[in-house]
């Protein structure tokens, strides 16, 4: 995947550099000097309405290529702000964020769409186009970045097969179950083969059995090399999967644990 280098003269820190007074914990061993997929360095976000209560407070973190990481914490802990800074919906008040090698603090606004092509996003409410079929919803993501019809004809069926919807390509969203709609959302996020998949409460509207299927799908995508970050309240899912867990409380990282569980805080 090509990366934007002209707009990011500052180099992303390598795996041996923290650049922070706050330790960067939980990084898997054996990556050498491979740059993180996501690197936060002393990131603080303050909303004008709450100047004395940072939404993120001096956060430093590495998420490495191939990581599968859960972001957990109660409502108001900073999860949504964390996600919005990665997609450059928000700029931090201070600090630096690097995504896929790009320093978001120096990224020009006109380059933000290019950044977002390198990030697949999956949301709780699916955000599907209601009058387009599953095939057309996924194809639309490729049309927006100028892919040819021949590429679309190959890649869209391929990714819909990956998510188990090869027989539902012609169905409209209201003809699909909630779990199937979320699978279309995952397919749309992945069709451009981004190095990073960010999921914001992807199982929030689904029952436990369907939630398990979505998480197993994300796990399968992760095994292909895609870095996966999942913000979630799904305590049972986090506890069952035993992957990396980063916990936020009052805008700060209070735990970063490999093979971790949800913990005893962060109730809905």
- Per-residue pLDDT reduced to its tens digit, 48-92: 999 999 999 999 999 999 999 999 999 899 999 999 999 999 999
pLDDT tens by residue, 146-174 = 999 999 999 999 999 999 999 999 999 99
Instruction: Say if CB 78 and CB 153 are below 8 A apart.
Output: no
Tally Cβ neighbours within 10 Å of residue 182: 29
DSSP string, the chain: -----TT--SPPP-TT---SSS----PPS--TTPPPSEEEEEEEE--TT-TTS-SEEEEEEEE-TT-EEEEE--TTSSHHHHHHHHTTSS--SEEEEEETTEETTT--GGGHHHHHHTEEEEETT----TTS-HHHHHHHHHHTTT--HHHHHHHHHHHHHHTT-TT-TT--GGGS-HHHHHHHHHHHHHTT--SEEEEESTTTTS-HHHHHHHHHHHHHHHHTT-EEEEE---HHHHHHH--EEEEEETTEEEEEETT----S----
Instruction: Find residue 199's DSSP bridge partners.
Output: 122, 230
Rg (CA), the chain: 18
Provide the residue ranges of all domains of the chain, joining segments of one domain with +. Answer: 33-118+197-261, 126-193
Instruction: Say if CB 244 and CB 67 are below 8 A apart.
Output: yes
Residue 26 has pLDDT above 50, yes or no: no
The pLDDT of residue 3 = 39
What mean pLDDT value characterizes the chain?
86
pLDDT tens by residue, 173-224 = 999 999 999 999 999 999 998 999 999 999 888 888 888 889 999 999 999 9
Tally Cβ neighbours within 10 Å of residue 33: 8
Instruction: Say if CB 168 and CB 187 are below 8 A apart.
Output: no
pLDDT tens by residue, 120-135 = 999 888 889 999 999 9
With bands split at pLDDT 50, 70 and 90, how would you rate the model's confidence at 106?
confident
With bands split at pLDDT 50, 70 and 90, how would you rate the model's confidence at 23?
very low
Rounded to an integer, what distance in angstroms lies between the CA atom of residue 77 and that of residue 174? Answer: 34
Instruction: Say if CB 70 and CB 246 are below 8 A apart.
Output: yes
**What's the pTM value of the predicted model, to 2 decimals?**
0.82
Smallest CA-to-CA distance from 126 within 204, 234, 25 is with 204
Q: Token pair for residue 16?
A: 């041996």
Residue 116 has pLDDT above 90, yes or no: no
Does the domain at 33-118+197-261 match CATH 3.10.20.600? Answer given as no
Residue 20 has pLDDT above 60, yes or no: no
Instruction: Say if CB 127 and CB 185 are below 8 A apart.
Output: yes
């Amino acid at each position: 995947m090509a990366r934007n280098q002209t707009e990011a003269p500052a180099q992303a820190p390598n795996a041996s550099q923290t650049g922070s007074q706050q330790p960067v914990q939980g990084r898997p061993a054996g990556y050498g000097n491979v740059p993180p997929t996501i690197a936060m360095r002393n990131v603080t976000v303050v909303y004008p309405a709450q100047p004395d209560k940072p939404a993120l407070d001096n956060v430093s973190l590495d998420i490495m290529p191939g990581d599968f990481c859960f972001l957990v914490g109660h409502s108001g802990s900073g999860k949504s702000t964390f996600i919005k800074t990665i997609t450059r919906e928000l700029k931090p008040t201070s600090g630096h964020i690097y995504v896929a090698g790009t320093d978001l603090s120096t990224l020009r606004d006109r380059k933000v769409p290019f950044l977002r092509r390198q990030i697949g996003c999956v949301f709780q409410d699916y955000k599907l186009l209601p009058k387009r079929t599953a095939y057309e919803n996924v194809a639309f993501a490729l049309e927006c970045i100028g892919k040819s019809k021949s590429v679309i004809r190959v890649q869209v069926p391929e990714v819909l097969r990956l998510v188990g919807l090869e027989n539902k390509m012609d169905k409209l969203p209201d003809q699909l179950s909630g779990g199937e709609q979320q699978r279309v959302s995952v397919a749309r996020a992945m069709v451009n083969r981004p190095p990073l998949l960010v999921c914001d409460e992807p199982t929030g509207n689904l029952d436990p059995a369907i939630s398990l299927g979505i998480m197993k799908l994300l796990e399968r995508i992760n095994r292909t090399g895609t870095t996966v970050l999942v913000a979630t309240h799904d305590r049972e899912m986090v506890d069952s999967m035993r992957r990396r867990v980063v916990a936020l409380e009052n805008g700060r990282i209070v735990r970063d644990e490999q093979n971790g569980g949800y913990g005893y805080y962060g109730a809905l």
